[in-house]
Structure formats: structure tokens, C-alpha cells
Amino acid sequence: MPITIELDRGQGPYKGGDLIAGKVIVINSTDRSRQLSYDLTITFLGKAWTQWKEGRNSRDTFRQYLVSKWEIETYFNQSFLLLQPGNMTATRTIDPGITELPFIYQLPPNLPGSFWSKHGGVTYTAQVLYRRPWKWDKLVQRDINVQGSYNLSWYPITAQPGYFTLVKKVWCGLGKVKANLLIQKRGFVPGEEMHFKLELDNDTRMQLKKIRVYLVQITTYSAQTATRQEIKKCIKLKCPSVQSRQSLTFPGCIVIPLDLPPTNLGSCRIVQPRYSLLLKIKTGLFGKTCFYSILEGRVPISIGTAEITTSPSSQSTINCHLRRSNHYSSNTTLPNYEAVSNEDNSSTITTSLNHLRLWNLCTFSREDYDSDPPPSYEDALALPPVEESCNKYRLLTS
């Protein structure tokens, strides 16, 4: 008796918190009803897993043996009865022809994205178990594609430029090679163009023939306090060669593939893919017969699901503008300082500072300093103690 699972949105992708709606189709090709021994159930399962083997050496026999490392992180595992759409009863009788059993399920929020590799992955499935006492049970499974959420605006470092500078001396005193790699920002989304600028200075007697720029995916797997890394080259870009005692400035562009998962899959603990822009330079010893690497460097980047948005409210730095309310003298009490917010003047913070902390923390323009400079160390020590009622400031943020 064939059983299939169909989703209304097909391959998706889905996100955390979305509703999964579909139906289970059971086909009875006979001309009579089939009576089931157990109710049909559907199970929604989401988990992350890692598994690999490591070689160890025995101290007694000096032989090598393998040790398995594995770990499972479960996000949800829930089962439901498949009910008849008409009378909403458990499914025990399958009529001749096609029987459709609808279902609906809401995914938990903040789920990592789907991912699969040789040593680990994150999988989401919908499973229907058809129990047969006279035969092996039949398990029908349908994969659910879930896209992780990684908003680049939450990480201000992704909006900053990335670069590295390396200087490598070549053996036998042939000279040195200097490389600079610069990108405008560190955060990108799939389908976006990543522009970079490569500067090379070949101060050797050799020709730099194999110059490559790669977009690499470095996946870290964790299991039982052990970690394992896997490096995958997603894109390769060839750069022109550099002759001896010459320089090169090469502007390049790489388009981020659409099928790349976000950094760390959004929120996964045991499977964490990360990305870098890798520069690798090789040179030949005997023509094209032997190559060896003389320089290699990386610029870490982040792949997200939402582009970087720059707005005043999203900036992490707060600029404080302080304004003097009256002039300072040794015969008067400590003046009040006001700070007014550029966005909301009602947001005020009252604090108390002593004389020296006030002048050390606050910055003033040149005009304020010339008209009323801060007191000297001796004058500050001679000042009377400040009353608590006079120690009030309104901090204005923008």
C-alpha cells in the first residue's frame, strides 16, 4: 500500500515559526477496504548530528585502532495521529482508492538552517510509520528544507572592511613577496557581489605563476569535547602572474552562491560553517613539474540572510553632547551638565560624578575650553565637597 507525504509549499524553504501544512496520501489499489492494526501517525523531527572516527595508538600492543566520535542535538520530536477529515477519528480503515489525510504543524522559532555533509549535518523530516505485524514496518520520510536566520545588522563588525598584509621571505635569499588583500565589508548575502582588491609586490628572482583567490567554507564539527574541521573550496578565481621585480594590482569580484547556508547555520552548536576569502600563491621549482606554496592568508567573512542596514538606531556607539548651563568658579557650586538626545529628548539619565571624573570623562570644543578651562589639580583639591543635591546631570544621547 503506497504512502506518500506532500507539502503545500513543496521544497520550501521554511523558517523557524512557520506553519507546515500538507497531506499524507494513502493509495489502496484493491476493491475492498483495508483494516490497519495500528493508527497512522506522523512524526516531525529536527536534529543536528556529528559523527567521525579518529585513529589512536595502543600503548601495549603499539597497534592503531579507531574511536568513534558522535553527538546529537535534538530541536523537536513530536508525533500526532492522522485523523480522517470528515469525522476526525483515528485512521484504522483505508477505503479503496486514494485517501488524503491532512496535517499542520508549526516549527519552533530560532531554528538553524538545513545542512548536510560527510561528518555531520542538520536535518528536518516528516515521518509516517505504517506498522505491519505480519511484516517489517514501513517508514515513509519527507525532508523539510529550513533556512536559518542570520541578520548581518546585528553584528556591526560585518559592515567594517576586511584586509590582511603578509610579507614572506623566499628561501635561499631570493627576496620577499608582499601581499595586500582588501574587501569593502565583511558581511554578504547569497547572490551579492563581493569586490576585493589584491596588491602584490614580487621582490624576488622568480615568477609568481599560480595566484588563486578562493571562497572557502570551513566547517567545525563538535562531539564529546572533540572537534574536527573540514575545508571546502566553493569558488576559485585565477589571477594574472607577476614577473620578477614587478608589482600587480588586481581588482576582482566574486558572486556569493545562492545555495550557501548562513554562518554558523544561524544558531547551531555542534555544526558551525564559517567562510573566508583565501589567497594562495605558489611558485615552481623546476618549471611546471613541482610547485610549493610560499604565501597563504585569509580574510574572515560572514554569510547572512538579511543585508546590512545602516540606521542611527542600529549603531552601537553613543555620542554624548554635553552643554554647560553656567560658568564654573571656585566660589560656586558644581554646575549642571545637560545632554539632549537627537531622537528623544525625554530620555534622561541622572548620575553623580565628582569633580575630577567629570572633567576627565567630558570632552569640549576648543571654544568652551578657551572661555572656561577646567580647574587645575590644586584648585580641584581646594574645592569644597559637593552636595548630593547638586550632583545631578542630564545625559543626552544621540
The answer as to whether 168 is a domain residue is yes
Percent of the chain at pLDDT above 90?
38
Residues 122 and 203 in one domain: no
Contact 10, 20 (CB under 8 A): no
Question: Across the strands, what pairs with 139?
Answer: 129
Give first-to-last CA distance, the chain, whole Å. 68
Residues 245 and 323 in one domain: no
Residues 243 and 373 in one domain: no
The answer as to whether 91 is a domain residue is yes
Residues 136 and 157 in one domain: no
Residues 179 and 239 in one domain: yes
- Looking at 121, 143, 165, which one is the last position of a domain? 143
Contact 225, 295 (CB under 8 A): no
The residues near 320 (Cβ < 8 Å, ≥ 6 apart) are: 339, 395, 396, 397, 398
Which of 29-33, 35-39, 72-76, 259-263 shows the lowest per-residue confidence on average (mean pLDDT)?
A: 35-39
Domain that holds residue 205: 152-303
Q: What is the pLDDT of residues 216-246, one digit of tens each?
A: 999 999 998 899 999 999 999 999 988 888 9
Residues 257 and 279 in one domain: yes
Residues 125 and 13 in one domain: yes
For 193-225, strand residue ranges (E) read 193-203, 210-223
Q: Cell match 545555495: residue?
A: 259
Dist CA 243 CA 385 (whole Å):
73
Phi then psi for residue 263, to 5 deg, are -60, 135
Residues 267 and 390 in one domain: no
Q: What is the pLDDT of residues 253-294, one digit of tens each?
A: 999 999 999 998 888 999 999 999 999 987 765 555 455 667
Q: Cell match 540606521: residue?
A: 311
Looking at every residue in the chain, the average pLDDT score rounds to 77
Total count of domains within the chain: 3
The answer as to whether 308 is a domain residue is no
The answer as to whether 226 is a domain residue is yes
How does residue 146 score in pLDDT terms, banded at 50, 70 and 90? Answer: very high
The answer as to whether 20 is a domain residue is yes
Dist CA 239 CA 200 (whole Å):
11
The answer as to whether 125 is a domain residue is yes
Dist CA 47 CA 182 (whole Å):
38
Q: H-helix or E-strand containing 360?
A: helix 355-361
Dist CA 299 CA 198 (whole Å):
12
The answer as to whether 310 is a domain residue is no
Q: Which three cell numbers mark 333? A: 557650586
Measuring CA to CA, which residue among 41, 190, 29 is closest to residue 103? 41
- In this prediction the pTM is 0.70
Contact 158, 306 (CB under 8 A): no
Measuring CA to CA, which residue among 205, 203, 206, 234 is closest to residue 219? 234
- Looking at 120, 143, 166, which one is the last position of a domain? 143
CATH of the domain at 269: 2.60.40.640
Q: What is the DSSP string of 291-302?
A: EEEEEEEEEEEE
Measuring CA to CA, which residue among 269, 243, 336 is closest to residue 47? 269
The answer as to whether 346 is a domain residue is yes
Residue 336's pLDDT is what? 39
The residues near 312 (Cβ < 8 Å, ≥ 6 apart) are: 342, 343, 398
Residue 252's pLDDT is what? 92
Residues 33 and 60 in one domain: yes
How does residue 387 score in pLDDT terms, banded at 50, 70 and 90? Answer: very low
How does residue 31 score in pLDDT terms, banded at 50, 70 and 90? Answer: confident
Q: Residue 152 to residues 49, 275, 294, 338: CA-CA distances in angstroms?
A: 26, 14, 34, 35
Contact 187, 299 (CB under 8 A): no
Dist CA 103 CA 42 (whole Å):
9
Contact 220, 272 (CB under 8 A): yes
Residue 355's pLDDT is what? 38
- Looking at 116, 143, 170, which one is the last position of a domain? 143
Q: What share of the chain is helix, strand, coil (3-state, %, to 5)?
A: 10, 50, 40
Residues 330 and 299 in one domain: no
Where is mean pLDDT largest: 46-55, 131-140, 304-313? 46-55
How does residue 375 score in pLDDT terms, banded at 50, 70 and 90? Answer: low
Residues 285 and 331 in one domain: no
Q: Residue 289 to residues 65, 212, 242, 285, 292: CA-CA distances in angstroms?
A: 37, 18, 19, 8, 10
Residues 232 and 282 in one domain: yes
